[in-house]
Amino acid sequence: MKLSLVIMVFVNYGGGKYWFFKHESWNGLTVADLVFPWFVFIMGTSIALSLSSMLRWGSSKWKVLRKILWRSFLLILLGIIVVNPNYCLGPLSWDNLRIPGVLQRLGLTYLVVAALELLFTRAESGTWEATYPALQDILPYWPQWIFILMLEVVWLCLTFLLPVPDCPRGYLGPGGIGDFGNYPNCTGGAAGYIDRLLLGEKHIYQHPSSSVIYQTTMPYDPEGILGTINSIVMAFLGLQAGKITLFYKDQHKQIMIRFVIWSIVMGIISAILTKCSKEEGFIPINKNLWSISYVTTTGCFAFILLLLIYYLVDVKKFWSGAPFFYPVEDARQPIPRRASDSKPHCDNSLGHNIIFTLQEEDILEDLIEAVKV
C-alpha cells in the first residue's frame, strides 16, 4: 500500500514528465494505471488481516459491521464533498456535483468486500480444511466465490448485451474520432450509457482522458457504476492474498507458491482475454472501463510484486521497505497545506487529497496497521 501511495502522489504531481507516468487515453497500460488497482488490491488484503485481528480480540460482528458502514459512508461523503473536481469550476451545487469518484469507489468496494468477508469469516476450522488442506483458503468460502462470479456475470451481460442507443452492442471504444468516427457519442459503451442514464451527464466526469486524442465530446466517468463491479473483484483478489498469509502463517514456501500460482492464473486469463495484444483482444486492457482483463492483468502484477516484497522483507529480511514507508510512516502526521489556499482541494493534487481525507478519519492508519498484524 505504501508503494502505491508513493507512486500515486508522484503521478499526480506530474510524474517527472515521463510518458509512462501518464494514463493511457483508452486501451493499454502504463505505470500510472497500476496505482489505483494496486491500492484496491492491498485494501482487500488489509481487510482480511484487520477483520481477523478484530474478531480475534473479541469484537462482535455487529460492532465490526457498524465500523464498516460508518467508514464506507465517510469515504463516499468525503469523496463527493472534499475531493470533487467540479468544485474547482465554481461553488459546489447539485447542478454540477460529480457523484462518482475515487473515494466513492473505494468506499463502495470496501463496504461490499468487508461485509462479504465479515459474513462468512469463521473463528474455527472445519471439515474442508481437514479434507482438502491445500485449498483451505478457498473452499470454506465458496459462497463468496459464487457471489463474486455472479457479479462478474452481471458486468459481462451489461457490457456486451445491454442495448445502447445509436451504438453497436458490446462497444468498448472511446467514441469521438475513434473507430473512424463511426460512433462519436458512444464513449465507454454500456458503462458510459448507464452513468449518463442513472446519474445524469452533469454529474459525471466532464473531461475524460480520451478527449485529448479521440476528441470525444461526451462526458465519461472512469469511476462510474459499472466499473465498480470489477474494482470489487480486484479487492477480492487482494482479500485472497490476505487469507493466504493468514492460513499459511510462517509457512513461507506455501505462501510464495500460492502467490506464484495466482499470478500465473491471472496472467493466463489476461492472455486469453486480450490475445496478448493492445487492441485486438476479446476484452482489451482498459482502465477507463475497468475491464476484467485490466483487473486480471494488474492482479497478476500485484501478486508478483507482493511475492517479491514478501521474499525480500519477510523471508530474507534483506529490505526494510525503505524509502517507501517514510511518506506514510505515521498516518497521524498531517500533510502540510498552505493556509492561503481558499480551495485546497482544487489547488492540491488528487493524490494529496485522498491521503489527507484518509488521514482525517484514521482510515489510512488502520490500513497500515492491519498490514503489520
315: its cell numbers: 523471508
From residue 258, give the alpha-carbon distance in Å to each of 28, 137, 141, 243, 246.
Answer: 28, 10, 17, 11, 12
Q: pLDDT at position 89, please? A: 57
Cα(177)–Cα(286) distance, rounded to whole angstroms?
18
Sign of the alpha-carbon dihedral angle for 279, 283, 289, 293 = negative
Residue 207 is among the residues annotated as catalytic for this protein: no
Low-confidence residues in the chain, pLDDT < 50: 125-127, 330-332, 334-361, 367-373
Residue 272 pairs in a beta bridge with: none
Q: pLDDT at position 343, please? A: 42
CB 185 within 8 A of CB 220: no
The number of beta carbons lying within 10 Å of the beta carbon of residue 196 is 22
Cα(207)–Cα(211) distance, rounded to whole angstroms?
7
Q: pLDDT at position 149, please? A: 97
Q: pLDDT at position 285, please? A: 96
Cα(28)–Cα(263) distance, rounded to whole angstroms?
19
Cα(307)–Cα(42) distance, rounded to whole angstroms?
13
Residue type, 324: F
235: its cell numbers: 479487492
* CA Rg value for the chain: 21
pLDDT tens digit sequence for 309-339: 899 988 888 877 666 666 555 444 544 444 4
Report the 3 state secondary structure along the chain.
CHHHHHHHHHHHCCHHHCHHHCCCCCECCCHHHHHHHHHHHHHHHHHHHHHHHHHHCCCCHHHHHHHHHHHHHHHHHHHHHCCCHHHHHCCCCHHHCCCCCHHHHHHHHHHHHHHHHHHHCCCCCCHHHHHCHHHCCCHHHHHHHHHHHHHHHHHHHHHHHCCCCCCCCCCCCCCCCHHHHCCCCCCCCHHHHHHHHHCCHHHCCCCCCHHHHHCCCCCCCCCCHHHHHHHHHHHHHHHHHHHHHHHCCCCHHHHHHHHHHHHHHHHHHHHHHHCCCCCCCCCCCECCCCCHHHHHHHHHHHHHHHHHHHHHHHHCCCCCCCCCCCCCCCCCCCCCCCCCCCCHHHHCCHHHHHHHHHHHCCHHHHHHHHHHC
- Which residues lie closer than 8 Å to 265 by C-beta, 6 or more apart? none
Q: pLDDT at position 335, please? A: 45
56: its cell numbers: 480475534
First-to-last C-alpha distance (Å) of the chain: 14
201: its cell numbers: 451527464
Domain ranges of the chain: 2-122+132-150+225-372
Kindly report the backbone phi and psi dihedral angles of residue 27, in degrees, each rounded to the nearest multiple of 5, phi listed first.
Answer: -70, 150
Peptide bond into 334 cis (omega under 30): no
Q: pLDDT at position 339, please? A: 41
Q: pLDDT at position 59, please? A: 83
Q: pLDDT at position 270, please? A: 97
Cα(193)–Cα(220) distance, rounded to whole angstroms?
9
